Structure 1
Amino acid sequence: MSLQVEDPRGTETPAPLKRHDSLFGDAEKVSHSKHHGSEVSWVRTLSLAFQSVGIIYGDIGTSPLYVYSSTFPDGIKNNDDLLGVLSLIIYTLIIIPMLKYVFIVLYANDNGDGGTFALYSLISRYAKVRLIPDQQAEDAAVSNYHIEAPNSQLRRAQWLKQKLESSKAAKIALFTLTILGTSMVIGDGTLTPAISVLSAVSGIREKAPSLTQTQVVLISVAILFMLFSVQRFGTDKVGYTFAPVISVWFILIAGIGMYNLVIHDIGVLRAFNPMYIVQYFKRNGKDGWVSLGGIILCVTGTEGMFADLGHFNIRAVQISFNGILFPSVALCYIGQAAYLRKFPENVANTFYRSIPAPLFWPTFVVAILAAIIASQAMLSGAFAILSKALSLGCMPRVQVIHTSHKYEGQVYIPEVNFMMGLASIIVTIAFRTTTSIGHAYGICVVTTFVITTHLMTVVMLLIWQKHVIFIMLFYVVFGSIELIYLSSILSKFIEGGYLPICFALVVMSLMATWHYVQVKRYWYELDHIVPINEMTMLLEKNDVRRIPGVGLLYTELVQGIPPVFPRLIKKIPSVHSIFMFMSIKHLPISHVIPAERFIFRQVGPREHRMFRCVARYGYSDTLEEPKEFAAFLVDRLKMFIQEESAFAQNEAESDNTSEVSESQARTRRSTQNAVHSEEAIQTRVSSHSGRISFHENQTVEEEKQLIDREMERGMVYLMGEANVTAQVKSSVFKKIVVNYVYTFLRKNLTEGHKALAIPKDQLLKVGITYEI
């Protein structure tokens, strides 16, 4: 266990082992493993590209069902407007999903995971922007924690890092952007099923004109009810199950688009000339600007490419987008424009009217299936993002069920599924048409784009450290385009645009309330920790007895002894024979490998057998089952004791070696018996070191056996049941937020022991009140 270094005299002497012994420091940067898919074979990449077709392109692939009807709600006034709109659709597809996401944003993944929270976690690893101060030096040793950054532009990155860390307003702004993006994704997951299913079902009226719109809405509601009801079964093998259906869909829409282009008006290919966009706005003025709210629907589901990246790799998404999605969807829009040039009166139901008669029913069936798959993909993405938000302490505890052993991102959240399903059905019944729902849908889509652009700019400045010209081009080009679209869609605020904004405000308020109180609670506990040097006095003062078994006291603090511990021993003056202060900590990365799961430290004298333990998880990791967790914990504890003994021996040997060196210096100054003196000293040191080693090894084995015996006697989980209230002198607003809103969320959502999968018959709760 010791390192050998060269002595000046030419002999080897043991050097002390070095260890960064701290649970209080801040994380530093080292290096990072590349994206998980960067070195996969081409066969595997092509397989992933095929699977990605079924998972991430259902939404953007079904947009042709409703884009033209949403763009021309009052009909087509000028036939040349079709060329301008088609040109806008083509270049919107090229600029936002292709250039921005496929070739830039996908590279800002967090160890393979994407989405708003992935960007936030990426930033929080390079700058201490999280509002809960739980950074630790030991986190730097986790394999996936860091990213290699180039050295250029380093001064600017350091300046930005200091500004972010020293500005509470900047931290709050980043957090607000993140939860706003999350809220919009939830809104997207609510509106996607409504608009996709309703637009697909509406096609049946082409063959059954006697059906009323009310009946179409009821059929859509039945499908939505079925869709949300089956979520609890999960979507295992989702890639290979959905990919064939969506692939057939893309083949159909591409073929129909080619047919319409050749039969009706091949001249619409002129729309690749962007001058038609200029002419369109000159001709229509404000009406052209307003129509952008419908055109932007052609890129719905783009954020899904980034959010669902964890199942694939960058190259697979690039291949599937550029080789399958873009050609198919572009051909479909081109074909619809060609059809409308000849039959502009059919714009309200362009997709189904443009289908050749023999292909109507096969296309209708596939359209229904594609709409359901698009909805499923967005729901899965919303659940995955919320599970990340939950693990980072940004939302109340809810039950997260992992529905697949193969696909880690496949999760199901019952409470969220119920609320989203209810909201989706209410929206379908209330709005009745895809045009009205589209106004609300567009705001969710564009707001998410704008948030991603701002977070990406921070990533480029702080982490990628790109040249300022490149960063300015990214921000100005994409930001200005998205703001133009956002201003257009906001013009429809009264006609349905208010829905996602109100929805987002409610979700954001709940998330912000929860996080605010959690931050205040953490700081309260941090200010009232029990110093470790007072532990012995605390135990002696209360005449604490040691009882059989292993005790785990859960605390959110990653350093210090929580204030609930003194309350525990005052009420029940006894502590288990083996006692641990356990913290479950979620790092701002996607995964922590099991070998790096635990950090242990001794608390107080060795004979107390009290330890501090931090169990670290990534936001995509699942907590082990109680038995598996306990066995793994005990195994790692015994390994820690072994390592501590080795370090102790090494330090003792180093001290002895130092004494020997001093003695040898004196003997060299003596002219008599030099050799005999040195040999005698070395003999004494070797004998002493041997006695230490034997004694230490014997003690370690005894401690291990003691842990095993106490483990057999049972493990008890202790949790502080904290009742958080606002101080008497607090403002009325703070009292409402803390005493009512937070308390309501805490009491009506999943309890802490359920979220941590703690067996109820092994749980002991200790009540305590915090005034913040």
Structure 2
Amino acid sequence: MEADRTAENDHCPDLQQSSGESRPNLTETNLRRHDSLDFESRSVKAAGKAAASWGVILQLAFQSVGIVYGDIGTSPLYVYASTFSEGIKHNDDVLGVLSLILYTLTLIPLVKYVFLVLQANDNGEGGTFALYSLLCRYAKIGLIPSEQVEDQEVSNFQVELPTNRLKMASCLKSKLENSRAAKVFLLFATMLGTSMVIGDSVLTPSISVLSAVGGIKNATSTMTQEKIVWISAAILVCLFMVQRFGTHKVGYSFAPIICTWFVLIGAIGFYNFLKFDPSVIKAVNPIYIYYYFKRNKRDAWISLGGAVLSITGTEALFADLGHFSVMSIRLSMCCVAYPALVSAYVGQASFLREHADLVSNTFFSSIPGALYWPMFVVAVLASIVASQAMISGTFSIIQQSLSYGCFPRVKVIHTSSKYEGQVYIPEVNYLLMVACLGVTLGFKDTTRIGNAYGIAVVFVMTLTSSFLVLIMIMIWKSHILVILSYVFTIGLLELFYLSSVLYKFDRGGYLPLAFAGFLMIIMYIWYDVHRRKYYYELEHKISPQKLKDMPSLTTLNRVPGLALFYSELVQGIPPIFKHYIANIPTLQRVLIFVSFKSLPISRVLMEERFLFRRVEPDDLNVFRCVVRYGYKDIIHEQESFERVLVEKLKMFIEEESWMLQNEDNDRSSKVYGGIEVVDRAWRDGIVHLIGQNEVVASNGSGLAKRVLINYAYNALRRNLRQNEDIFYIPRERMLKVGMTYEL
């Protein structure tokens, strides 16, 4: 067997003692072993969230106002202008659009996301990858190379199910598990949803800042559209330049700004409702939607692309869940955001009933004169906050994609020691800035950007609904009537909106699809070759017998110190190690093969993150270490990582010694003495060995495969971060080992 024994952490508090203390009271039962590294991940538990008090929930609800609702909160800046891009042709059309906005706000952000989608969280985390990981844990549909069959037995991989199991759920699960096409499609849909959300982060700053700055035209006639565009561009540059300081540096101002914004738009809306036309309240009757479509027919359908902008940023309610809690987001939505937005749209509709000619600048035209300049300042600040939220969300999404091997390696910088979710990715930040400036300077007005924005928004919502229906069927075991009700109300509404926004493909709608397509190509190239590399190493791994024969090599020299040999292979010894020994026949006194494994869960507890196994023979002092991370976990700075790894290794050796005590006292003492060997090697110094794999297409490969591997993948790899940059490996203690893989 390849493994002599594998540690299975059984949550013993005594194991938290250091190796220098008295030996813990360990028993045969809680030191149960298995002879395969396949079983290494069985005991993982996620870092769950404790039940919060109402005081904490209220505090989180206040904070969520600034982070979650910046995008949807600034939608009143441009919704009516985008919907009535050709002007208001009939006064009652205002009632039809208002009714449409009210029911869209109610059905999608409130009913769908707040009361349904938030329930489909992954141990408190939200977003497209959270839904995908939830499905992967319940059904065998994952295509991530490092996942093994045994992962399904990990405690927090299990999904709590109702007792009444329906035949439909089992049938769907079986079909998904047995269909390669279905598995590929689900991963493709996850990548597409991720790409679309990233596209949102390009369009949100452009349309929000441009709309807010455009309000200055109401105050002075000397302000041209060209000047507004360049002022907006300057604000956007400043916005992206301060990202490196981290969200937490300016985060304290987010909630007060958005709260002030909601109070003002709610109050102004109520004031306009009373002053101009209180009869707009009859728009709660959906019959006015029917009349609107009956009068305008095709034009009404086209205008849906503007109305859907009233729910932009809704995906943030779910994507940012990890920073807050389900109850806090429900509270802030129901008590703050939803009432303020309804009041704002009703007030603007009341204003337009008497000033239909001002629809192109509805928001600022409807502001009472005394509040104009204060509202202008708050609008600009709110648009910046909305942009910041989407940019930060993009960093988090890419971090999740990296964990799944679905995005090229970039360096993730954690900007806050207090809030784990706050990250900054330099390369992505500058690419977003360039793209955002290109959109702003190229489109110049919010109408065309709105056409592009609508497609990105509705695509993500439709994909979320598709995943949610699968979860309702397979995991929740929902009643068929509940599922059908969802599909034929919210599902059809989203498809109706999608058909409208796609109509504007040639008017700017192509932009998010082109952007998403570009990202999808990059993600596919990286994922596909990453998968090929992994299986190549798995097929060519070093046999256990060759490792056992290693001490007999007369040319092999053992030197003081501890070596960490990094490998992506989570089972077995990578072939590059044989290449290293053949060229440099020198081995440190202690050698640890380190593999980083991403599990489809949000977080892994620190005490369960490191899994060790000794490679025979014992006196070789060679170990395997699998370091398991969830997609929200932080890769620590190298000094901390080295220290924790060595401490966990010593715990493993102590545990191993106690397990062997009843079987072989001599061997137990020898193994326990390995702690001193590790301590001495640690003091002598650590060297980091990194495999620098060059990949090329094998002889006889087709043209497509050669282009994919030899040109596309290698071009990405050369221009992006290397392993030592990702894992904070000090260059003065690093040695690269090169080898060519023919895939």
Give the TM-score, by structure 1 length: 0.90
Q: Which runs of no fewer than 5 residues in structure 2 stay unpaired? A: 1-8, 11-26
SS for the counterpart of 2:508 is helix
- TM-fit CA distance, 1:560: 1.0
Instruction: Check if 1:18 corresponds to 2:50.
Output: no
Mapped to 1, the partners of 2:396 and 2:201 lie a distance apart of 11
| Structure 2 residue aligned with 1:259 | 271
| Structure 1 residue aligned with 2:254 | 242
Check conservation: 1:443, 1:489, Cα contact below 8 A. yes
- TM-fit CA distance, 1:537: 2.9
- TM-fit CA distance, 1:164: 2.9
- TM-fit CA distance, 1:697: 5.7
Choose the corresponding residue for 2:49, options 30, 36, 45.
36
Instruction: Check if 1:357 corresponds to 2:369.
Output: yes
Mapped to 1, the partners of 2:548 and 2:161 lie a distance apart of 46
Mapped to 2, the partners of 1:133 and 1:464 lie a distance apart of 28
| Structure 2 residue aligned with 1:335 | 347
Mapped to 1, the partners of 2:467 and 2:40 lie a distance apart of 23
Instruction: Check if 1:202 corresponds to 2:214.
Output: yes
Letter in structure 2 aligned against 1:768? M
Check conservation: 2:40, 2:611, Cα contact below 8 A. no
- TM-fit CA distance, 1:396: 0.5
Percent identity over paired residues: 51
Mapped to 1, the partners of 2:552 and 2:485 lie a distance apart of 66
Mapped to 1, the partners of 2:181 and 2:711 lie a distance apart of 26
Cα distance per residue 1:309-331 (max 9 Å; x no partner): 11111111111101111110111
Choose the corresponding residue for 1:733, options 692, 700, 704.
704
Note the 1:427-576 alignment, pairs <5 A.
427-538=439-550, 540=552, 543-576=555-588
| Structure 1 residue aligned with 2:723 | 752
Check conservation: 1:55, 1:238, Cα contact below 8 A. no
- TM-fit CA distance, 1:186: 0.8
- TM-fit CA distance, 1:139: 5.0
- TM-fit CA distance, 1:43: 1.1
Check conservation: 1:268, 1:338, Cα contact below 8 A. yes
Mapped to 1, the partners of 2:276 and 2:306 lie a distance apart of 24
Instruction: Check if 1:762 corresponds to 2:736.
Output: no
Q: Which moved further from structure 2: 621-630 or 338-347?
A: 621-630
Instruction: Check if 1:579 corresponds to 2:591.
Output: yes
Letter in structure 1 aligned against 2:599? L
Choose the corresponding residue for 2:406, options 374, 383, 394.
394
| Structure 1 residue aligned with 2:181 | 169
Mapped to 2, the partners of 1:14 and 1:276 lie a distance apart of 73
- TM-fit CA distance, 1:167: 2.3
Letter in structure 1 aligned against 2:678? I
Note the 1:592-741 alignment, pairs <5 A.
592-650=604-662, 652=663, 693=665, 695=666, 698-741=669-712
Letter in structure 1 aligned against 2:736? K
Note the 1:109-128 alignment, pairs <5 A.
109-128=121-140
| Structure 2 residue aligned with 1:667 | none
Cα distance per residue 1:736-767 (max 9 Å; x no partner): 11111110110100111110111111111111
SS for the counterpart of 1:464 is coil
- TM-fit CA distance, 1:640: 1.0
- TM-fit CA distance, 1:199: 0.3
Letter in structure 1 aligned against 2:712? V
Check conservation: 2:31, 2:655, Cα contact below 8 A. no
Note the 1:96-111 alignment, pairs <5 A.
96-111=108-123
- TM-fit CA distance, 1:263: 0.8
Check conservation: 1:549, 1:713, Cα contact below 8 A. yes
- TM-fit CA distance, 1:237: 6.1
Q: Which runs of no fewer than 5 residues in structure 1 stay unpaired? A: 3-12, 653-691
Choose the corresponding residue for 2:303, options 282, 287, 291.
291
Check conservation: 2:28, 2:659, Cα contact below 8 A. no
Mapped to 1, the partners of 2:137 and 2:686 lie a distance apart of 35
- TM-fit CA distance, 1:339: 0.5
Mapped to 2, the partners of 1:346 and 1:464 lie a distance apart of 49
Higher CA-based Rg: 1
Cα distance per residue 1:420-467 (max 9 Å; x no partner): 111111111111110110000001100000111111122223322323
SS for the counterpart of 1:547 is strand
Mapped to 1, the partners of 2:393 and 2:371 lie a distance apart of 32
Mapped to 2, the partners of 1:754 and 1:179 lie a distance apart of 25
SS for the counterpart of 1:128 is coil
Cα distance per residue 1:679-711 (max 9 Å; x no partner): xxxxxxxxxxxxx54x45643442111111111
Mapped to 1, the partners of 2:79 and 2:585 lie a distance apart of 69
- TM-fit CA distance, 1:731: 1.8
Instruction: Check if 1:742 corresponds to 2:742.
Output: no
Mapped to 2, the partners of 1:443 and 1:261 lie a distance apart of 31
Mapped to 1, the partners of 2:40 and 2:94 lie a distance apart of 58
Mapped to 2, the partners of 1:14 and 1:382 lie a distance apart of 48
- TM-fit CA distance, 1:545: 2.3
Letter in structure 2 aligned against 1:340? L
- TM-fit CA distance, 1:391: 1.7
Letter in structure 2 aligned against 1:19? R
Check conservation: 2:70, 2:383, Cα contact below 8 A. yes
Mapped to 2, the partners of 1:770 and 1:253 lie a distance apart of 60
| Structure 2 residue aligned with 1:677 | none
Mapped to 2, the partners of 1:526 and 1:84 lie a distance apart of 61
SS for the counterpart of 1:295 is helix
Mapped to 2, the partners of 1:755 and 1:278 lie a distance apart of 56
Check conservation: 1:395, 1:515, Cα contact below 8 A. yes
- TM-fit CA distance, 1:166: 3.0
Letter in structure 2 aligned against 1:718? L
Choose the corresponding residue for 1:385, options 370, 394, 397.
397
Give the TM-score, by structure 2 length: 0.93
- TM-fit CA distance, 1:483: 1.0
Mapped to 2, the partners of 1:122 and 1:237 lie a distance apart of 33
Note the 1:296-375 alignment, pairs <5 A.
296-375=308-387
| Structure 1 residue aligned with 2:4 | none
Letter in structure 1 aligned against 2:446? T
Q: Which moved further from structure 2: 756-765 or 81-90?
A: 756-765
Letter in structure 2 aligned against 1:717? H
Letter in structure 2 aligned against 1:438? G
Task: Output the aligned Cα RMSD.
Answer: 2.1
| Structure 2 residue aligned with 1:687 | none
| Structure 1 residue aligned with 2:23 | none
Letter in structure 2 aligned against 1:699? K
| Structure 1 residue aligned with 2:742 | 771
Check conservation: 1:22, 1:137, Cα contact below 8 A. no
